Structure 1
């Protein structure tokens, strides 16, 4: 399974960007998307930015990735989706 990782652009030259996310920094090819200013967020797949992200997309994506890691270890993930559970019971 391949996953995209949300990463924040720290600096860019228009072709590549130094990005940070989920505890790591890496060089990312940004030529597949429109210009990305420093401070913006992108979805990174195989060291390529595949699309820009809105700020409000970052936290849910990171929670989903955290849930995958915890579920793979057999741990409970309910706390990562408490807001969804509240909406479902309302």
Structure 2
């Protein structure tokens, strides 16, 4: 399974950015997304940015990752999946038989 981690650009150049998540700074390749200004949220995987995210999408992914960690530890996690709790599951458009 591959897990993308949301991070925020602190400072960047054309090909590399210093990105932050929960106070930790990492060097992230920008080769797939191009140069990004400070404050931009990125979905990262194995040291590379793979997609630019909106702030609310980055927060939802971060909450889901925190929810998984809470579930593994046997603690309450429902509040971290608020976007899923109050609705029925939906298939993506390309899988619907409409």
- Which residue in 2 is equivalent to 1:22? 22
Q: Unaligned regions of 5+ residues in structure 1, if any?
A: none
| Residue 8 (structure 1) aligned with residue 4 (structure 2) | no
What's the RMSD between the two structures over aligned residues?
A: 1.6
Task: Work out which of the two has the higher radius of gyration on C-alpha atoms and give 1 or 2.
Answer: 2
- Which residue in 1 is equivalent to 2:58? 58
Q: Unaligned regions of 5+ residues in structure 2, if any?
A: 89-98
Distance 1:46 1:8 in 2: 15
- Which residue in 1 is equivalent to 2:33? 33
- Which residue in 2 is equivalent to 1:75? 75
Alpha-carbon distance, 1:84 to partner: 4.0
Structure-1-length-normalised TM-score: 0.85
Distance 1:27 1:14 in 2: 13
The answer to whether the 8 A contact 2:13-2:35 is kept is no
Structure-2-length-normalised TM-score: 0.78
Which piece of structure 1 moves more, 5-14 or 75-84?
Answer: 75-84
SS in 1 for 2:36: coil
Distance 1:81 1:48 in 2: 26
Alpha-carbon distance, 1:87 to partner: 5.1
